[in-house]
């Protein structure tokens, strides 16, 4: 077997490959972090099947959750696939599918409304409107840049990701609020949620702004991040329509199995359902 030494050139070419595949910026950044972590762990050692298996054992010994470990393995396997080092791919940890989400991570409708109201009270209208936009449409935070003055006026947004175009309809009330905000900010074209320099806000900037609301809104920080707004949309949409196929289309999922993850109830709700069965005398 050839002496496989992972170099900066390998990683640079791999990242360029991800960009060419039109992966979301957040995905590319995460894969880059995970690949660099693997490279640092290697510390110049050659890559072999045995070495890769040792890395899996190393991650398992760090006290990280199986889902986190598998996510890191996925990034490393993706790199191996790109380099043609298929024989070095690492097997994922087997995780039994959970039937509920931890309550500590579940953002409720009431908590969401408190976050929006707090942002408004602090005169951070852009943040309140950004949260409403994500939660009322189910878009990813990385897709917020597609919410433009033109799209708001038209009441629909075309999101282009990985060569696919997904059309998102804006609720009338939201579209009017977006147009009103754009007019007030004198934004006649382009992204509505932008920095002072005119660049679209990044995922981290929105994440950090949301976290700053937690204490005053009385909401646990563990529940407050942009992706949880997408989860709340999914649960609310499904409860209203009971149409998981349509929900998958709205969220832009290629597999309904992914959509199912969004619909997991909390542990307390799961217990309540079991209690209502009346099977214990």
- Cβ neighbours for 8, distance < 8 A, ≥ 6 positions apart: none
Q: CA-CA distance, 32 to 26, in Å (whole number)?
A: 10
Rounded Cα distance between 158 and 168, Å, is 6
176-227 confidence digits (pLDDT tens): 999 999 999 999 999 999 998 999 999 999 999 999 999 999 999 999 999 9
| pLDDT at residue 277 is higher than 80 | no
Residue in 151, 140, 156 with CA at minimum distance from that of residue 179: 151
Query: Residue 102: pLDDT above 60?
Result: yes
Rounded mean pLDDT, 228-240: 92
pLDDT more than 70, % of the chain:
92
- CA gap 103, 190 in Å, rounded: 38
Tell me the mean pLDDT in the region 152-177.
Answer: 91
96 phi, psi to nearest 5 deg = -70, 135
Please give the Cα distance from 166 to 190 (Å, whole number).
Answer: 18
- Give per-residue pLDDT as tens, 236-267: 998 899 899 999 999 988 888 888 877 776 55
Helix H or strand E encompassing 34:
helix 25-42
pLDDT digits (tens, 9 = 90+) for 86-101: 999 998 888 655 555 6
3-state secondary structure 139-164: CCHHHHHHCEHHHHHHCEEEEEECCE
Taking the C-alpha atoms of residue 235 and residue 238, their distance in angstroms, rounded to an integer, is 5
- What is the pLDDT, as a whole number, of residue 181? 97
What percentage of the chain reaches a pLDDT higher than 90?
A: 63
Over the stretch 2-24, which tens digit does the pLDDT of each residue have? 678 999 999 999 999 998 887 77
Q: Mean pLDDT throughout 148-176?
A: 92
Average pLDDT over residues 109-125: 97
| Per-residue confidence (pLDDT) for residue 223, from 0 to 100 | 93
Count CA within 13 A, CB hemisphere, residue 5.
Answer: 6
* pLDDT at position 254: 83
pLDDT reading at 58 higher than 60: yes
CA 248 to CA 246: how far, in whole Å? Answer: 5
Q: How many residues does the chain have?
A: 281
Dihedral sign for Cα 38, 43, 46, 52, please.
negative
pLDDT of residue 160: 84
Q: Is the pLDDT of residue 108 over 70?
A: yes
- Give the model's confidence band at 66: pLDDT under 50 very low, under 70 low, under 90 confident, else very high: confident
Per-residue pLDDT reduced to its tens digit, 119-156:
999 999 999 999 999 999 999 999 999 999 999 999 99
């Amino acid at each position: 077997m050839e002496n496989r030494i992972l170099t900066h050139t390998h990683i640079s070419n791999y990242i360029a490959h991800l960009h060419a595949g039109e992966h979301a910026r957040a995905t590319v950044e995460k894969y880059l972090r995970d690949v660099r972590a693997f490279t640092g762990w290697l510390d110049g050692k050659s890559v072999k099947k045995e070495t890769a298996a040792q890395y899996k054992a190393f991650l398992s010994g760090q006290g990280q959750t199986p889902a986190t470990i598998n996510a890191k393995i996925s990034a490393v396997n993706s790199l191996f696939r790109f380099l043609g080092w298929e024989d070095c791919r690492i097997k994922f940890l087997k995780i039994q599918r959970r039937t509920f989400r931890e309550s500590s991570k579940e953002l409720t409708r009431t908590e969401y409304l408190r976050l929006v109201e707090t942002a408004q009270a602090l005169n951070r209208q852009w943040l309140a409107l950004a949260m409403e936009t994500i939660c009322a449409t189910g878009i990813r935070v990385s897709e917020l840049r597609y919410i433009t003055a033109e799209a708001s006026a038209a009441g629909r947004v075309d999101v282009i990701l990985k060569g696919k175009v997904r059309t998102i309809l804006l609720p009338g009330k939201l579209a009017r609020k977006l147009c009103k905000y754009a007019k007030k900010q004198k934004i006649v074209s382009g992204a509505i949620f932008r920095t002072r320099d005119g660049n679209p806000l990044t995922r981290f900037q929105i994440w950090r702004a949301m976290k700053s609301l937690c204490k005053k809104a009385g909401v646990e920080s563990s529940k407050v991040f942009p992706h949880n707004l997408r989860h709340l949309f999914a649960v609310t949409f499904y409860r209203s329509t009971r149409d998981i196929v349509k929900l998958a289309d709205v969220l832009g999922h290629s597999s309904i199995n992914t959509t199912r993850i969004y619909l997991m109830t909390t542990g307390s709700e799961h217990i309540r359902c079991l209690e209502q069965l009346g099977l214990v005398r």
